[in-house]
Amino acid sequence: MINESDKSLFRSTVDQQKPIDKDGVKKTAASKNGSDKLFQKYSFLYEPNISGSEAVVHYKSGLSPKVLKKMKQGNIGSTPSIDLHGHKIEEACLSLSKFIHFHSNERFIHVIHGKGYHSDNGLSIMKSQVVHYLKQHPEVLAFCSCTQEMGGTGAVFVHLKANV
C-alpha cells in the first residue's frame, strides 16, 4: 500500500520536472502561435441545460462537412481519451485544459463526460459544462456526440486546430 507521504513525495518530484528538449529546438510551432499557454479564460456553468440523452454538435464556420461526417460516424482513428466521471465542475475544466494542451499535436480527442443519470430533471451538469467549455476553447474547431460504441451521448469527439 502506498502511504500519503510517498504520494506527496512523488507528486512534488513529478510536478517540478520539465521535458527534455532532445532535438535542441528552442521554439515549437505551438509556442510560435501563442498556444503554448494553458487555456484558462473559461467560465463555469452551474445550471445544467442539456439532457443526458441529447446529441450535441457544434462546429466553427469553414469546417469541412466531410470532417464532421467522419466524426459523427466515428471514423477518426485512435484518439487520446479523458474520462471526467467523478470530477467537480472546476476540476473537470482544469483537467480538460491540461488534456487539450498536452494533446495539442493531435487532430482529434475523445472526452467522456457521462450522461448525468443521477442529475435532477434528466439534465446533466457535467455534459452541459463540457459543451460550454469546448465552445469557449480557442483550439477547438468542432465537437459532436460519439457513436454508441464510444459512449454515445455520454461522450464527445473533439476536433482540434492543427498546431503546425
Short-list 72, 67, 130, CA closest to 99: 130
Q: What is the dihedral of CA 88, 93, 94, 95, to 10 degrees?
A: 80
Q: In this predicted structure, what is the pLDDT of residue 30?
A: 44
Looking at residues 78-105, what average pLDDT do you find? 94
What are the CA-CA distances from residue 41 to residues 32, 94, 97, 136 (Å)?
Answer: 20, 11, 10, 8
| CATH, domain 50-164, list 3.40.50.300, 3.30.1370.110, 3.60.20.10, 3.40.250.10 | 3.30.1370.110
Lowest mean pLDDT among 10-14, 66-70, 131-135, 151-155: 10-14
Of residues 49 and 4, more confidently modeled = 49
Give the chain as a 3 state SS string. CCCHHHHHHHHHHHHCCCCCCCCCCCCCHHHHCCCCCCCCCCCCCCCCCCECCCCCEEECCCCCHHHHHHHHHCCCCCCCEEECCCCCHHHHHHHHHHHHHHCCCCCEEEEECCCCCCCHHHECHHHHHHHHHHHHCCCEEEEEECCHHHCHHHEEEEEECCCC
- State pLDDT tens for residues 32-86: 444 567 888 888 988 899 999 999 999 999 899 999 999 999 999 999 999 999 9
With pLDDT > 90 as the criterion, what percentage of the chain qualifies?
A: 63
